[in-house]
Amino acid sequence: MGDFLPLTPSPPHPLFPRGTMQPSIGVTVAKGFRASGVACGLKKTGARDFALVVSDHDCVCAGMFTTNRVQAAPVLYDQATLAQNSDAIRAVVANSGCANACTGDAGLADTRATAAATARALGCRADQVLVLSTGVIGQRLPMEKILQGISLAAPSLNDEGGDDASRAIMTTDTRPKVFAVRNSQYAIGGMCKGAGMIHPNMATMLAVITTDAKIAPELLARALRSAVAVSFNRVSVDGDMSTNDTVLVLANGASDCEIHTTQHVAEFTHALTQVCTDLAKQIVRDGEGATKFVEIVVTGARAEEEAVRVAKAIANSPLTKTALYGGDANWGRVVAAAGYAGVAVEPAQMQLWFGAVNVFANGMPTQFDEADSARAIAGADIAIRLDLGQGAASATVWTCDLSHDYVTINGKYRT
């Protein structure tokens, strides 16, 4: 089917020069999807807070959800709905400003009412509508505003509406997050929001991905699990896991390109992973208060799972994250975090690099130049590589620094 070309907002890809294509439309890149994003008063600022993504055809759909024991009403609802209907989904309705978590049976009834009202507006069944919510925990959905949102969003649906939709799901995000790839036959595009409560195993992270490929439910679910494992589950902003994390992928088959051979599935999975990885990295880059994007690569592990554990321990270490914020190449904190990851690492076998600067080997700091290591972490993009010297497995995790602004944002989130 040929190579997948990324449709990145910037710089424009040569095959999709600015003007001829709007890669920012994310979920509406694939054929047969329309979207909209409107304001219905959930956000005090009057900004867009209500999004709708609709397919003209029934969609095969797969979802992955937070593993938190405390799950928001829409998470419970979507899981139950997908268990009954994973091949005729028509719409995803999403609101920001209110997470509808810890709201009990009443909250679940609100989610059901949201799906039912959306279905009425679109002329489909309620069990063809999935619901996403993000925002403050423990407050009931203001249903009159939700109904207002539906009445505004449904007539606004259009095939370039992905941009508006991606803005409507933002909370403390400072910018919308979209990405898409396509080859000669089909496209995969998505949007997501993140910012806080971002942690391995999903986050206050909502993502909706659409494709016009044709694929069976079990193949789509498997591709999504594979893609999420190395993308959304490899990012961390603050180590907190949310009650609302959801990734949905909808395949409407509008391209008539059927994904069934082993090679097709591999290509599709690779392309879906590309989309998920780019979206996940965008979440980290826009982490609450983040001033630096940090890629942590752990190599030389005995097993991938061990590499992941070490990389995540480093990614979640407040001391490492504050040091990076302060521009302090404090390799000792990285080594110490690796030491408490619960993996049998051996300091004498470990080697650590900040960028290209090898700062640690043989259980000791190398004779590196402090100016070089400081330069290696001075920019907005930092690469840390730790070789454990124990095997051939590796893993990559993305995180950001921990700044004064993170504390400011989260000290006063509700007020």
Residues that bind a copy of itself (CB under 8 A): 67-71, 99, 101-104, 106-107, 136-138, 196-197, 199, 201, 238-243, 316-319, 322-323, 325-328, 330-333, 335-340, 343-348, 360, 362-365, 402-404, 406-415
How many secondary structure helices (H) and strands (E) does the chain include? 11, 18
Place of tokens 């993305």: 398
Query: How far lies 216's CA from each of 10, 18, 62, 91, 261, in Å?
Result: 33, 34, 10, 18, 12
Spatial distance between the Cα atoms of 294 and 301, rounded to a whole number of angstroms? 20
**Contact (Cβ atoms closer than 8 angstroms) between residue 189 and residue 271:** no
Closest CA to 260 of 220, 309, 307: 220
Closest CA to 91 of 147, 153, 135, 44: 153
> Strand 214-215 relative to strand 258-259: parallel, antiparallel, unpaired?
parallel
**Contact (Cβ atoms closer than 8 angstroms) between residue 37 and residue 161:** yes
Residue 12 carries which DSSP code?
P
In degrees and rounded to multiples of 5, residue 256 shows phi and psi of 65, 10
Token couple for 223: 């591709």
**Contact (Cβ atoms closer than 8 angstroms) between residue 382 and residue 292:** yes
Closest CA to 97 of 24, 173, 23, 157: 173
Residue 8 known to be catalytic? no
Outline where DSSP puts E strands in 80-158. Answer: 89-95, 129-133
Task: Using DSSP, state whether 409 is helix, strand or coil.
Answer: helix
Closest CA to 75 of 45, 99, 53, 42: 99
Spatial distance between the Cα atoms of 106 and 25, rounded to a whole number of angstroms? 35
Catalytic residue among 204, 210, 211, 277: 204
**Contact (Cβ atoms closer than 8 angstroms) between residue 191 and residue 176:** yes
Spatial distance between the Cα atoms of 361 and 335, rounded to a whole number of angstroms? 11
Place of tokens 């001075």: 378
Closest CA to 295 of 386, 397, 199, 376: 397
Q: Catalytic site residues? A: 204
